[in-house]
A and B are shown apart, each in its own frame.
Chain A
Amino acid sequence: MAFLFKRRSKPVEVDPESDIFNKETEGLSQGQIVRKRFFRHRGAMISLIVLISLVLFVFSTLGFKIFGIGYGGWWKYKITDLPALRTQGCSIELPGCPTLSLIPGRNFGLGDHPFGQDDLGRDYFALVMRGAERSIEVMVVIGLVAAALGIVVGAIAGFYRGVIDATLMRFVDFIITIPVLVIGSVLGYHFGSKGVLFLALFLGLVSWGGLSRLVRGDFLSLREREFVDAARVAGASNGRIIFKHILPNAIGVIIVNVTLIMSGAILLEAALSYLGFGVVPPDVSLGLLISQYQDSFTTRPWLFWWPGLIIIIIALSVNFIGDGLRDAFDPRQRRRISRKDRAAERQMTAKK
Chain B
Amino acid sequence: MIAYISRRIAAMFVILFGSSFLIYNADAYAGDPTEGLRGSTNPQAHQKLIALIRELHLNVPPPARYFIWLKGILKVFTGHIDLGLTRDHSPVSTAISNAIPITIRLILSSFILAVLFGIGFGIVSALRQYSRFDYAMTFFAFLMYSLPIFWVAVLLKEYLAISFNNFLLNGKIAPLWILSAAAVSGVFWAAVISGSRRRVFSIFAVAGAATAFFLWYLSISKWFTHPGLGPVVMLVLGLGFGVGTTYLSTGITNKAALRSSVAVVLIGFALYFPVEYFLKKDASLITIIIMLALSIAIATGVSYFFTKIDRRPVVRTSIITSILVGILFIIDKLMKTWVPYINSDAIHQRPIPTISEANSLLPSGNFWFSSLDTVLHLILPTIALVLITMAAYLRYSRGTMLEVLNQDYIRTARAKGLPERTVIMRHAFRNTLIPITTVLVVDFAGIMGGAIITENVFGWHGMGTLLNQAIHGQDLNLLMGVFLFTAALIIMANLVADLLYSALDPRIRVVGKK
Tell me the A residues contacting B by CB distance below 8 Å: 1-8, 10-11, 43, 170, 173-174, 177-179, 181-183, 185-187, 189-191, 263, 267, 270-271, 274-277, 287, 290-291, 294, 297-298, 304, 307-308, 311-312, 315-316, 319-320, 323, 336
Nearest to A274 among chain B residues (CB) is B150
B449 beta carbon closer than 8 Å to chain A: yes
Would you give the shortest CB distance from A10 to chain B, in whole angstroms?
A: 8
Contacts A179-B490, A186-B30, A274-B150 aside, 19 further interface pairs with beta carbons under 8 A come to A1-B248, A4-B124, A5-B423, A8-B195, A170-B15, A178-B22, A178-B487, A182-B482, A182-B487, A189-B31, A190-B27, A275-B468, A277-B471, A287-B150, A290-B151, A290-B154, A304-B154, A308-B148, A308-B151
Does B130 have its Cβ within 8 Å of any Cβ on chain A? yes
**Known: A5-B127, A177-B490. Contact between A323 and B158, CB under 8 A?**
no
CB distance from B25 to the nearest CB of A (A): 11
Contact of A271 among B11, B30, B446, B453 (CB under 8 A): B453
Is B456 close to A, CB under 8 A?
yes
Which residues of B have CB within 8 Å of A2?
A: 247, 421
Other-chain residue from A173, A182, A187, A297 in contact with B154 (beta carbon distance below 8 A): A297
What separation, in Å, do the CA atoms of A43 and B140 have in the docked complex?
13
B10 to chain A, nearest CB (A): 12
B458 vs chain A, min Cβ distance (A): 12
- The answer to whether A274 and B453 have CB atoms under 8 Å apart is yes
List of B residues within 8 angstroms of A291 by Cβ: 150
Q: Which residues from A are CB-within-8-Å of B421?
A: 2, 5
Q: How many angstroms between the C-alpha atoms of A297 and B156 in the bound complex? A: 12
Residue of B nearest to A43 (CB): B139
Q: In whole angstroms, what is the CA distance A311 to B146 when docked?
A: 8
- Chain A residues positioned under 8 Å from B217 (CB to CB): none
Residues in A whose Cβ lies below 8 Å from that of B472: 189, 276
Once bound together, how far apart are the Cα atoms of A298 and B244, in whole Å? 44
Closest chain A CB from B96 CB (angstroms)? 14
Considering the complex, give the chain A residue whose CB is closest to the CB of B158: A297
Q: Do A7 and B420 have beta carbons less than 8 Å apart?
A: yes
| B337: Cβ under 8 A from any A Cβ | no
Partner of B449, one of A181, A186, A298: A181
Contact in complex: A312, B146 (CB < 8 Å):
yes
Residue of chain B at shortest CB distance from A307:
B151
Main secondary structure of the interface of A (DSSP, over half): helix
Say yes or no: B146 contacts A319, CB within 8 Å: yes
Q: Is the CB of A323 within 8 A of B479?
A: no
Interface SS of chain B: helix, strand, loop or mixed? helix
- In contact, B471 and A186 (Cβ under 8 angstroms): yes
Q: B interface, how many residues as a size bin?
A: 35 or more
Tell me the bound Cα distance from A270 to B457 in angstroms. Answer: 14
User: Which chain B residues lie closer than 8 Å to A3 at the CB level?
Assistant: 192-193
Q: How far is the CB of A145 from chain B (nearest CB, A)?
A: 18
A185 touching B146 in the complex, CB below 8 Å, given contacts A4-B124, A179-B486, A275-B453? no
Q: List 30 A-B contacts (CB under 8 A).
A: A1-B247, A4-B124, A4-B127, A5-B419, A5-B420, A5-B424, A8-B128, A8-B131, A8-B195, A177-B491, A177-B494, A178-B22, A179-B446, A181-B450, A182-B482, A183-B23, A190-B30, A267-B146, A274-B453, A275-B453, A275-B456, A297-B154, A304-B154, A308-B151, A312-B146, A312-B147, A316-B142, A319-B142, A319-B145, A323-B138
Q: Which residue of A lies closest to B448 (CB)?
A: A179
When A and B form their complex, what is the total count of cross-chain residue pairs whose Cβ atoms lie within 8 Å? 138
* CA gap between A304 and B22 in the complex, in Å: 38
Point out residues on B near A: beta carbons under 8 Å. Answer: 11, 15, 18-19, 22-23, 26-27, 30-31, 124, 127-131, 138-139, 142-143, 145-151, 154, 158, 192-195, 244, 247-248, 419-421, 423-425, 446, 449-450, 452-453, 456, 467-468, 471-472, 479, 482-483, 486-487, 490-491, 494
Nearest-CB residue, chain A, relative to B19: A178
A8 cross-chain contacts in B, Cβ below 8 A: 128, 131, 194-195
**Max count, chain B CB within 10 A of own CB: residue among A5, A304, A323:** A5
- A323, B145: Cα distance in complex, Å: 12
Min C-beta distance of B136 to chain A, whole Å:
12
Complex CA distance for A135 and B242, rounded to whole angstroms: 51
Distance from A190 Cβ to chain B, minimum over Cβ atoms (Å):
4
Q: Which residues from chain A contact B487 at a C-beta distance below 8 Å?
A: 177-179, 182
In the complex, chain B residues whose CB is within 8 Å of the CB of A311: 146, 148, 151
B460 CB to closest chain A CB (Å) equals: 14
Given the complex, which residues of B lie within 8 Å of A178, measured CB to CB?
Answer: 19, 22-23, 487
Residue of A nearest to B486 (CB): A179
Listed residue (A2, A4, A8, A308) with the most chain B CB atoms within 10 angstroms of its CB:
A4
A88 to B110, CA, bound (A): 47
Ranked 3 nearest A-B pairs via Cβ: A315-B146, A190-B30, A308-B151
Minimum distance in angstroms from A330 CB to a CB of chain B: 11
Q: Contact: A186 with B453, CB < 8 Å?
A: no
Q: How far is the CA of A4 from the CA of B248 in the complex (A)?
A: 10
Query: Roughly how many angstroms separate A274 CA and B129 CA in the complex, as a whole number?
Result: 38
Would you give the shortest CB distance from B251 to chain A, in whole angstroms?
A: 10
**Distance of B468 from chain A, by nearest CB (Å):** 7
> Do residues A312 and B143 form an inter-chain contact, with CB atoms below 8 A?
yes
**Once the chains are docked, how many angstroms separate the CA of A307 from the CA of B490?**
32
Inter-subunit contact A287/B148 (CB<8 Å): yes
Q: Return chain B residues, CB-CB under 8 Å to A191.
A: 30
Contacts of B491 in A (CB 8 A): 177
Residues of B within 8 A of A263 (CB): 145-146
Complex Cα distance, B457 from A290, in Å, reads 12
CB-based contact A271/B490 at 8 Å: no
User: What residue of chain B has the Cβ atom nearest to residue A286's Cβ?
Assistant: B148
CA distance in complex: A311, B145 (Å):
11
Do residues A11 and B148 form an inter-chain contact, with CB atoms below 8 A?
no
The answer to whether A320 touches B150, judged by C-beta atoms less than 8 angstroms apart, is no
Are B490 and A11 in contact, CB atoms less than 8 angstroms apart?
no
